[in-house]
Structure 1
């Protein structure tokens, strides 16, 4: 009989001819297996001397934080760095090791997961359908963050309300031509933020004009795509006087482009972003944004895996609007003086 400390769940799965997830469910007494399969796993575990006490608490032995490289790296996408920190905090509190891996559709995801010896998966952000199906085939406890997939436990912020709050704020500020910049609509959170944007306009009796809603060009680098989207909006016959951007990074890029074009923010055009990343409060001007507890997203998801609460459902965390200078409406007198000054400057240069 092998030394108990030398047998891994991966080796047990290979010896029994089943997946790691099947072994985990069998040892934990979880439903979803035939009695024949459960008995087979337990018999092989006894033969190899596997220490089943390691799983009696129900906690995962190792959790894997998995994300798609299509959303960028954690260094360039600060939103998911916060999510990771929240997950890591929950795992540290529970004494569960956490590792990180990025994937793309077409890779041997099951093989990569096995190398990490993970028995629980936390998937953050949009993941391609092919990669998602490969993750499901790993048959491990699974929770998604900032994404949705039928039959899986998901943790999201209230994206629909967030998009509505951002747009309603601009409507309350008397903006007349409100535009929006969105990322790919296949992303669950982006599609809901767009729905909230349109709902606020509808409730205000505003006709929806598709020209005022642009999607980032996926063929461009991320920052270039943000500048290109703002350029397209400014080249409209009647450019917008307010913009809701689906995240803070895009909003800050659009503001930068407007300033380069000689526009003033918020006097000429106002902005609201989404996520409330740290840079939002320090850009010039400081960015109004929709805030959610990003670390809580990761913490809630990791706790669900630690506690075995992975039944299909969707948790929706609250959001709030944080108002800063980028969206403030200029006082009427100040706005009139600014318009007069611009007319005088134009006349002097002609």
Structure 2
């Protein structure tokens, strides 16, 4: 029999042929399992000498919100600030303290997590595989937001549909050269938004031209990378007359550059972003965007951890297109009608 302190929940799950979440439910006596599965897990746990004290029962005593330092500060990344606020609201409702930690590959993640003395992890945004595996080795209940990883409970918005709606809107408005600006293609949400963009082009009978799809330079400052991406598009022999940007901040930086180059938005070039951050409605011109309930993403993830709902699965929240001035279709200028002598109106006529 193995030493109790040497058996991990991952090894137990592998030996029983079930997921880590199933092992957790079986050992905690939670509902949602057949008696056969529960008995199988308990039998394997006994055979391996697994220390059941490792799994605390009931809701977590403290939760940790983790994100990659590559995202920058939450203050500079409005999307995740909303997600954090939603998670904090759910934790407050459940009486569970929430703390925050940024991580990166090479960190002693397990040691840092232990110092926080938490019972559950909420991961937000993209984590590279090395970091993701280090997080999973902490062997705590885990839910991911705006990311996907096999064997983990994941909560996302409908990224592919959102990008499709944005691109279709630009195409149906008459734009002939629709381009896109994306972030790193390794990011789950970015890859799905790229699929939605291409799908809309395909369904409209447009040939996909890779020159009209650019990726932000990861080495550059975020604002400058957005301006650089737009500059590359404008340098094409036939610059785009519409752009879908994978998030609102990138769209606003691109618009900033276009205006500096003397282009009018939306008369010369139309834009749609994604996320509907607060600044989108107040920039000049107001930005069309794809809206989802960002706080609901964080709230739903935190609630899942509070309730022990961590079985591997993916939930998808709905999205909607919000049309504002940046993608408005310019009305055609009417031809001047021949001047005619105005008829004199009665003095009692009311203005219309």
Work out the CA distance in 2 between the residues paired with 1:277 and 1:319.
14
Work out the CA distance in 1 between the residues paired with 2:82 and 2:300.
13
CA contact (8 A) 2:82 2:294 kept: yes
1:241 is matched with 241
CA contact (8 A) 2:7 2:50 kept: no
2:113 is matched with 113
* CA drift at 1:35: 1.9
Q: How does 1:174-253 map to 2 (within 5 A)?
A: 174-253=174-253
Give unpaired runs (5+ residues) of structure 2.
Answer: 13-22, 31-37, 337-352
CA contact (8 A) 1:19 1:138 kept: no
2:17 is matched with none
C-alpha distance after superposition, 1:65-97 (max 9, x if no partner): 000011111011010000000000000001111
* CA drift at 1:18: 6.4
Work out the CA distance in 2 between the residues paired with 1:38 and 1:94.
33
Work out the CA distance in 1 between the residues paired with 2:317 and 2:233.
32
* CA drift at 1:199: 0.1
1:76 is matched with 76
CA contact (8 A) 1:20 1:119 kept: no
* CA drift at 1:134: 0.3
2:280 is matched with 280
CA RMSD of aligned residues (A): 2.3
CA contact (8 A) 1:65 1:121 kept: yes
Query: Whose helix proportion is higher, 1 or 2?
Result: 1
2:97 is matched with 97
* CA drift at 1:332: 1.2
Work out the CA distance in 2 between the residues paired with 1:149 and 1:27.
24
Q: Do residues 140 (structure 1) and 149 (structure 2) align? A: no
Work out the CA distance in 1 between the residues paired with 2:52 and 2:126.
34
Work out the CA distance in 1 between the residues paired with 2:191 and 2:82.
22
Work out the CA distance in 2 between the residues paired with 1:141 and 1:248.
32
* CA drift at 1:27: 7.0
1:325 is matched with 325
C-alpha distance after superposition, 1:287-330 (max 9, x if no partner): 00000000000001111111111111000000000000000010
1:35 is matched with 46
CA contact (8 A) 1:276 1:292 kept: yes
* CA drift at 1:118: 1.0
* CA drift at 1:28: 2.9
Give unpaired runs (5+ residues) of structure 1.
Answer: 1-14, 46-51, 338-350
1:290 is matched with 290
Q: When the two structures are aligned, how many residues end up with a matched partner?
A: 310
C-alpha distance after superposition, 1:179-211 (max 9, x if no partner): 000000000000000100000000000000000
CA contact (8 A) 1:153 1:314 kept: yes
Work out the CA distance in 2 between the residues paired with 1:113 and 1:40.
20
Work out the CA distance in 1 between the residues paired with 2:78 and 2:48.
43
* CA drift at 1:16: 5.0
TM-score normalised by structure 2 residue count: 0.83
TM-score normalised by structure 1 residue count: 0.84
Runs of 4 or more above 2 Å deviation: 15-22, 24-33, 36-42
Secondary structure, aligned partner of 1:34 = helix
1:300 is matched with 300
* CA drift at 1:19: 6.5
